[in-house]
A and B are shown apart, each in its own frame.
Chain A
Amino acid sequence: MAFGSASKIFRNFLKDCHDRTTSALDLDTDVPKVALYGNTGTPDQNATAVLSAYNGAASAWVTANELTDTNWAAGGRTLGTITTHFADTAGILWYDAADTSGAGNVTISNAYGVLVYDDTITTPQADIGISYHAFTTQPASVTAGTFTVVWDANGIFRYTL
């Protein structure tokens, strides 16, 4: 049981985009969150809706596996300055946001990666997962200092068609 080094889009998220099982899904307006995790729990890109969701029962994303601080509270930090590049680049769709930081100085030990989930969605599965991201350097720790998740130059996720 380990976070691993892979970063993946959840298959269930793409399924929902296509079949509208989660009809309220709209990345143009939804506000995802970024939750921090240690090395307990194994992410699975093929997980079902509940197993990809934040605090989904018996998932890798239960709060027991989450890392928190006063300034990086349970549930995670809100993704900010979101930019959806769904129609501006030929052959590519991508989704990006500003790097994600704590609300102040944080103390976090042994963070291995993050879950990005749609905090706006409440039904049929609340907080469905969008993607998970392993840190390039694991683990990451900080004591009473700044902690920033720096997103990849290619964005949080990208489809090349």
Chain B
Amino acid sequence: MSEAGGTGQAGPAEAVTANGAGEPLHVRQAYALAEADAADEVVTRMEAKVAKAKQAAKDMVATATAALAEAQAAAKAANEHALSLGQEEG
């Protein structure tokens, strides 16, 4: 993807079906357990997302602050240089 000749693909999907599978109690229990597991997985992922978001926010502020200081220093130096050349000419 990032180089010439790279590719990115979404894979095809297959729909597998079985008519009239029936839903006795043990099947419904299995479905319910799977739903509970899935819900727990979502909670875990959202907790991780919050933690990452907090860290990312800190990193972005630190990066932006450092970049601002660097840009301000560079601008100050450039302006001082331009000023000194102007004074030399005068």
Spell out A's residues near B (CB within 8 Å). 7-9, 14, 24, 26, 28-31, 71, 78, 80-82, 101, 103-105, 111, 113-114, 120, 131-137, 140-161
Instruction: With both chains docked as a complex, state the minimum distance between the C-beta of A150 and any C-beta of chain B, in angstroms.
Output: 4
**Interface membership of B62, Cβ < 8 A:** no
Once the chains are docked, how many angstroms separate the CA of A104 from the CA of B29? 10
Once the chains are docked, how many angstroms separate the CA of A153 from the CA of B12? 9
Main SS at interface, chain B = mixed
**Interface membership of B53, Cβ < 8 A:** yes
Q: How many pairs, one residue from A and one from B, have CB atoms within 8 Å of each other in the complex?
A: 132
Report the interface size for chain B: residues with CB under 8 A from the other chain. Answer: 35
Q: Do A26 and B49 touch across chains, with their CB atoms under 8 A apart?
A: yes
Q: Do A29 and B49 touch across chains, with their CB atoms under 8 A apart?
A: yes
Contact A137:B18 (CB < 8 A) given known A28-B52, A29-B45, A158-B8: no
Contact A150:B15 (CB < 8 A) given known A7-B10, A105-B23: yes
Spell out B's residues near A (CB within 8 Å). 1-3, 6-23, 28, 31, 34-35, 37-38, 41-42, 45-46, 48-49, 52-53
Contacts of B52 in A (CB 8 A): 26, 28-29
Once the chains are docked, how many angstroms separate the CA of A61 from the CA of B61? 37
Contact A148:B16 (CB < 8 A) given known A7-B11, A29-B52, A161-B6: yes
Q: Do A156 and B2 touch across chains, with their CB atoms under 8 A apart?
A: no
Contacts of B37 in A (CB 8 A): 80
Q: Do B35 and A103 touch across chains, with their CB atoms under 8 A apart?
A: yes
Contact A142:B19 (CB < 8 A) given known A104-B28, A104-B31: yes
